[in-house]
Amino acid sequence: MLLAIDAGNTNVVFAVADGGRIAGTWRISTDTRRTADEYAVWLHQVLTLSGLTPRDITDVILGSVVPAVSFNLTWLCRKHLGREPKVVTKDLDLGIEIRLDNPAEA
């Protein structure tokens, strides 16, 4: 299953997809002081409530506009899920052109 993480200025949204099916979505407020361990406890709880486990996660993709949160979410994936997240940045070739003066702000 794919865990998609979208870290915005207000919320961090987590979604688990299994093929073409969304198995669950959850959100938590964005807080730059929240640690990878705190995210792990929370994620384990919401996964369990949905009948899933961290072992069900086989891939992770992470998009973020909050660099301070990106570090802890990346560490969450490495330490607690045993997965290296694919991090979507302005430098990742997705086959689309971003026509902005500063793509890092997209």
Q: Give residue for tokens 């500063």.
A: 102
Question: What is the number of H-type helices and E-type strands within the chain?
Answer: 2, 5
Q: What is the pLDDT of residue 99?
A: 76
Check if the beta carbon of residue 100 is closer than 8 Å to that of residue 86. no
Entry pTM = 0.87
CATH of the domain at 20: 3.30.420.40
**Residues 1-18 pLDDT 10s:** 999 999 999 999 999 999
If we measure between CA atoms, which residue out of 2, 9, 17 comes closest to residue 68? Answer: 9
- Helix (H/G/I), strand (E/B), else coil: 53: coil
Q: Which domain holds residue 45?
A: 2-105
The tally of domains found in the chain comes to 1
**Residues 9-50 pLDDT 10s:** 999 999 999 998 999 999 999 999 999 999 999 999 999 999
